[in-house]
Each structure stands twice: as C-alpha cells, then as structure tokens.
Amino acid sequence: MYRFSLYREQYRQNLRLALPIVLTQVGQILTQVADNLMVGRYGGDDPTPLAAVSFGGAVFFILFVAAIGMALGLTPLVGELYAQKDRIRSAALLQNGILFYTLLGLIMAGVQYAVIPLMYHLKQPVEVVEMAIPYYRMLVFSMPFMMLFFSFKQFLEGVGNTKVEMVVTILANLANIGFNSVFIYGRFGLPEMGAEGAGLGTLLSRVLAAALIIGYFCRHRGYRRYLDGFSHRVLSAEVVRRLVHMGLPIAMQMFLESSAFVGTGIMMGWFGKIAMSANQIAITLGNCAFMIVMSIGAATTIRVSHCYGARNVGELTLAAKASYHLVLAWNALAALVFISLRHLIPTFFTTNAEVIATTSSLLVFAALYQLSDGIQNVSVGVLRGIQDVKVIMPIALVSYWLLNLPVGYLLGFTLGMGPTGLYLGFAVGLSSAAVLLIRRIRRSVRKLRAGN
C-alpha cells in the first residue's frame, strides 16, 4: 500500500536534482519553440517558413539525438565513481569525454552536411526544402559546440550538480531569442534572413553555452582540478571504450525512438504543408511536456547511479518508484492541458485556420501517449543508472521500428485516418516500450538483491 511518508524524502531528493534539469531541458526546447513562434509569426498566413523549420529541424534531430545519447553515457559512470569518492578516475572520464565527444560532434556534423542533397528526395514540397536547407546548415555548424557543452554538463550531473547547466542554458536561450529577433527580421541594418536567421541565432547561442560552462570549470577551484594535466595525450583507448560501451546503446535507443518521430514527421509531409505545420506545433508542445519527463529521467539516473555505486538496493528501489510517481502525475496534467486547450494553443503559433484545426485534432491524440511516454523514459533512466543498457536498444527497435512506424502508416494511409492515424502509432510504440522496459527492470533489481 502506498504511504506518502515512505516516499517524502525520495520526492525531495529527486526533485532537488530534477528541477534545475527541468529548467535546463525547457531552456533547450525553448530554442525550438522560439524558432517556431518567431518564424511562424514571420510567415503569417504562409505556412512555408514554419514547415521549413519543421523539416530542417527534424532531419537534423536524427543524428543530433544519437550523438547526445553517447554523451549521456558519461553520467552513470561518473555517478558510480562519485559515490565511491574516486576523483582520479572521474577526471579521466571527463578529460577523455571532452576530446571524444567533441570529435564525435565534428564527425556527426560532416555526416549531417553530406545528407543535404538527400533532403530533396524525401517527398517534401520543393519550396519547403529550399527554405529548410539554410536553416539546417546553421544547425549542423552548431553540432561540435553542443557536444562540447554536453561533455561538461553530463559530468556535472554525474556528481549531482544540476544548477550550473540550468543557469548556462537559461542565459544561452535568452541570447537565442535576442539573436532571432535580430536575424529573422533584419534589425540594426542587418538583412532579413527569415528561417535561416533562426538557425544562425541557434548556432550563436550554442557557442555561447559551451563558452560559459567551460568558463565555470576554469574559474571554480573544485572543478578545475578535474582538468589538471589536460591535453590530447590523456586520450585513453580503455576509457573511450567504457564511454562507448555505456553510450552506444543509449544513443541507439534515442536514435530509434527519435527516428520514429522524425519518420512520422516526414510521412506527415506527404499530406502537405498544412499537416507539416500542424505536426510541428503539436510536436513542439509534446517536446515541452517531454522535457519535464526527461528531467525526471535524468534525475533518476543520477540518484540510481549513486545508490548503485554505494550498493544500496533498497534506496535505489525507492528512488526509482518515486520517479514513476512524479512522472505519472506530470503526464496526466500534460494530457489534460492538451485536450482542454487544444483550440487555443495553436493560435499562438499561426493564424492559418486549417493549421489550427489540424493541430487541435493532433493534440487529442498526443494526449493518449503521455503516460506511456513518461513510464518508458523513467525506465530507461533506471537502467542507465544501474548500467544495464544493452537491452534498451532491442526494445527500442521492436517498439519504434517494428510497431510504431508500421502501425502509424497502416492507420494513417492504408485505413485512411490521416495525420491522427500517424499519432496513434506513437501510442502503440511507446506503450510497448513501457511494458518491456519495466519487465527488464524487475529482473535486474532481483539480480541486484540476490548479489547482495
């Protein structure tokens, strides 16, 4: 039977870590929201600029999220060592992470740039693609700076410091809004750049974020010591193997999940610009809700990794359950907001009546998968914390590629449900992932108890 007193301290500790991450994640998604709001208003009744940002952002997101997934593998490794007070090995992880993740960002940027010609072959309206490419190119240039930022960010999360990333992200995103205002509309004598200006603003804000977090490490004595002796010679094949071993399954899971959303976005383009713009608004709102979920999942990884390092399975179990309680409460609220305000929210993004009507119907179906989305994300956070990550990739493959996308296509096109059918595919995929991940956690926790 549930007892609040049993979980009160767990809620407090989880929220203490999660709330700064919430502001960090919301700050990051506000980059996308700011781009969409300002570009949508720039386009007025013309949905092309908003559709271009939607398409360019979707194509960029596929490899971007996989690269970020690699960096997320640093947190549980540092978290375990932090609980064991092993500063030397923690410093080795940070220094190798800086070099490895930045190099990975450069490689990913090269791959992303190379796919630009392929964007014309994804059956999107030609005018949308031509407007999307300059925006997309700016996002590609930001990739190495984002990976450098995440190197420091994930290390800080591993040692339980989530406040610095919050401050840095808020400052960077305030700068992004200012840059957008200048470059999209052409202020202070600069040319009017439209969608490309939104991309340039994002690039500059990400450069700023990397500079700010590096400056914090260099000025703070407690963290500067983790950079002692830092040079390219510290690169260790053994440490990099650990980072890859932990990060690759996380990256693949995030890639498979995000590709289901991106694939759905591309299929949405087959219905035309109205559906593309409506999907972009609905996905942006869904991402805002999901940022809270991701924050709770990240806090879960931190708490669980510390308990795992201390080999305290009882505390680990309570921390994980508390996260499920928090995320279910949040997602229930998000679903209620989506349904009750479905006619009002789209009007903040566009004045096009058809886009508003389509978005309203999509928000109802987005509400259907909120609870499953929260459960699966926290479950992944638990598995990351106990370093049981190999299984999350095959679960993601089954849930998102074998169920989500095919079911969405079947309902949307074969059975003629249109855009709403594609969203029902999300509900099927995310629910399947939630069930399979919980089963794995129960098995893994039983093994940990037996090992103690």
The pLDDT tens digits for 301-326 are 999 999 998 888 889 999 999 999 99
20 vs 227: CA distance, rounded Å: 24
pTM over cut 0.75 = yes
State the Cα angle at 255 between 249 and 260, rounded to 5°. 135
Which residue ranges in the chain fall short of pLDDT 50? none
Provide the phi-psi class of 187: left if phi over 0, else alpha when psi is between -120 and 50, else beta: beta
Contact 45, 352 (CB under 8 A): yes
Cα–Cα distance, 115 to 55 (Å, whole number):
13
CB-CB contact of 313 with 295 (8 Å) = no
Provide the pLDDT for residue 320. 93
> Residues 348, 40: contact at Cβ < 8 Å?
no
- The region that residue 352 occupies, defined by phi over 0 for left and psi between -120 and 50 for alpha, beta otherwise, is beta
Contact 181, 189 (CB under 8 A): no
Of 172, 160, 166, 154, nearest in space to 20 by CA = 166
32 token code pair: 């996308």
**How many whole angstroms separate alpha carbon 328 and alpha carbon 374?**
6
pLDDT for res 159: 87
Note the pLDDT of residue 46.
65
Instruction: Look at residue 60 in the predicted model and tell me its pLDDT.
Output: 85
pLDDT score, position 404: 93
pLDDT on residue 428:
94
Minimal CA–CA distance to 228: which of 241, 215, 216, 217? Answer: 217
Q: What per-residue confidence (pLDDT) applies to 27? A: 64
Task: Please name the amino acid found at residue 429.
Answer: G
Q: What is the pLDDT of residue 169?
A: 87
183: its two tokens: 């470059």
- Contact call for residues 24 and 172 (beta carbons, < 8 A): no
Considering just the CA atoms, what is the radius of gyration of the chain in Å?
21
- Alpha helices by DSSP H, 44-162: 48-72, 74-83, 87-114, 126-141, 143-158
